[in-house]
Amino acid sequence: MIEKHYDAVVFGGGSAGLAAAVRIAGQGCSVAVLERENELGGILNQCIHNGFGIQRFKEDLTGPEYAERFIEMVEELDNVSIFLETTALEVTHGTPHSVFAYSKRYGVIKIECRAIVLAMGCRERNRGNIGIPGTRPAGVFTAGLAQRLINIDGYIPGRRAVILGSGDIGLIMARRLTWVGVEVLGVIEIQGYPSGLTRNIVQCLNDFNIPLYLSHTLSEIRGKDRVTGVTVTPLQDGKTVTAKSFDLDCDTILLSVGLIPDNELSRKFGVSLNPETGGPFVDAGLMSSVPGVFACGNVLHVHDLVDYVSEESERCASFVVEYLNGTYNPLLHHPIVSGANVKYVIPNKYLPGMTNRFYLRSLIVKNKAELVISLEGEPLKRKNLAHVQPSEMVSFSLDEQDLSRGSESREKKLEVSIY
């Protein structure tokens, strides 16, 4: 068995893994990137639409363009080893951590390293997770799988489609299907508001007059071998109004009903997971409950812009380098928790004496909201937010000055609320 040693191993060569690898290697540490697919870039490769990089590069890029910028950076670094078509199946934490990575080319490689970056991304919720009743015919696809089939392989899964869920991938796919000649009969959303970005509603649905059925649910799938239709039922006060149900004759159903951080390997490391995000609990440096195991990107929590993923992953990488240099002290980190109307705040800890950046998701939909960070019930910082809704991630920072008052207090726990 081949054995290798690196300072850090990055699990996943998508947007998070690439950004982390570039930053870690840029600081002189040796890095291995393990990627399951036959190329770097992850899901960005199938996101051939534009809208990426506006924050990061101040340019409107497509997914492949955004990915290639990072791929080129990583390829220029000679202390990064890329392992394509390689899957880590067994891992054990310790000093050092060890990883057994499987590939056709090398067999099983045993890799030892001091730090791990979890950057495996997320997976899609599927029919089983949401329990749509009816038959089980061919023609039901998750939106991401359909996107992959169309954009990478050039395969069209059907001719008349209904999309369940108004998440961004579902919206993007409504346009993509239309643009390859598939008729999209409608997008069905159980909530009373769309869960994707507004610009996607405009460009992907309104442009093509595709109906968006808010507060509706898919109550039945029909068809023995292949989908022949669905029944759509409106909801009123959370209850289905069966009398107002209607049928759509489609041969294809795309599901865009949410993403789940893919933490199988994290579990094998013994990392403790946050039920709110589906990702690891992390401290201010994005280190999990297992020393030396860090997490960033969609494996940590589902982001709505890749630009945020890159930012978070680079930040994570800087702490990985500190860890490798022996200057990382998790004992100095203090907790920050969700207060009123907040689903989650990431990271779960802050470090006084530096600028801490946080991402949070709101539980409520509100215009002119206020974000309040408080210590022992006393507001420490306030921020006005023009509009909040669960589908749009909110970011904020706390700098040394904001946190200076906390250093005098005995109680260190911060609470974040939205009012």
Q: Binding to another protein (CB under 8 A): which residues in 41-70?
A: 45, 48-50, 54-55, 60-65, 67-68
Q: Cα–Cα distance between 218 and 231 in angstroms, integer?
A: 6
Q: Cα–Cα distance between 189 and 162 in angstroms, integer?
A: 11
Residues contacting another protein: total by CB under 8 A:
83
Q: Are the C-beta atoms of residues 110 and 1 closer than 8 Å to each other?
A: yes
Phi then psi dihedrals of residue 277, to 5 deg: -100, -25
Asked if residue 12 binds another protein (CB under 8 A), the reply is: no
Write the interaction track for another protein spanning residues 318-337; mark x where CB under 8 A is met and - where it is not.
--------------------
Asked if residue 144 binds another protein (CB under 8 A), the reply is: yes
Pick from 5, 159, 244, 382 the residue near another protein by CB under 8 A: 159
The piece of 82-90, 231-239, 295-303, 320-328 that touches another protein (CB under 8 A) is 82-90
**Residues facing 295 on adjacent strands:** 118
Phi then psi dihedrals of residue 154, to 5 deg: 80, 25
Asked if residue 352 binds another protein (CB under 8 A), the reply is: no
> CB 138 → another protein: shortest distance, Å?
4
Asked if residue 1 binds another protein (CB under 8 A), the reply is: yes
Write the interaction track for another protein spanning residues 95-114; mark x where CB under 8 A is met and - where it is not.
-----x-xxxxxxx-x----
**Residues facing 5 on adjacent strands:** 112
Write the interaction track for another protein spanning residues 272-311; mark x where CB under 8 A is met and - where it is not.
---------------------------------x------
Angle at 234 between CA 228 and CA 240, to 5 degrees: 100
Closer residue to another protein (CB): 149 or 214: 149
Asked if residue 361 binds another protein (CB under 8 A), the reply is: no
SS3 314: helix
- Taking each helix axis from N to C end, the angle separating 306-325 and 63-76, rounded to the nearest 10 degrees, works out to 20
Q: At CB < 8 A and 24+ separation, what contacts does 316-319 make?
A: 316/20, 316/117, 316/285, 316/286, 317/19, 317/20, 317/21, 317/22, 317/23, 317/24, 317/27, 317/117, 318/23, 318/27, 319/285, 319/286, 319/287, 319/294
Closer residue to another protein (CB): 122 or 300: 122
Pick from 21, 150, 342, 369 the residue near another protein by CB under 8 A: 150
> CB 52 → another protein: shortest distance, Å?
11
Asked if residue 126 binds another protein (CB under 8 A), the reply is: yes
Pick from 16, 19, 32, 36 the residue near another protein by CB under 8 A: 36
- For another protein, the binding residues in 233-252 under the rule CB under 8 A are 251
Closer residue to another protein (CB): 128 or 377: 128
Pick from 73, 77, 84, 138 the residue near another protein by CB under 8 A: 138
> CB 341 → another protein: shortest distance, Å?
21
Phi then psi dihedrals of residue 149, to 5 deg: -60, -40
Closer residue to another protein (CB): 137 or 339: 137
Write out the H or E segment, with its range, that includes residue 170: helix 168-179
Number of Cα atoms under 13 Å in the Cβ half of residue 253: 30
Closer residue to another protein (CB): 134 or 280: 134
DSSP secondary structure string for all residues of 331-352: GG-EEEEE-TTEEEEESSEE-T
Asked if residue 134 binds another protein (CB under 8 A), the reply is: yes
Tallying the residues shown for the chain, one arrives at 419
Phi then psi dihedrals of residue 46, to 5 deg: -95, -10
Pick from 78, 225, 237, 378 the residue near another protein by CB under 8 A: 225
- For another protein, the binding residues in 366-395 under the rule CB under 8 A are 386
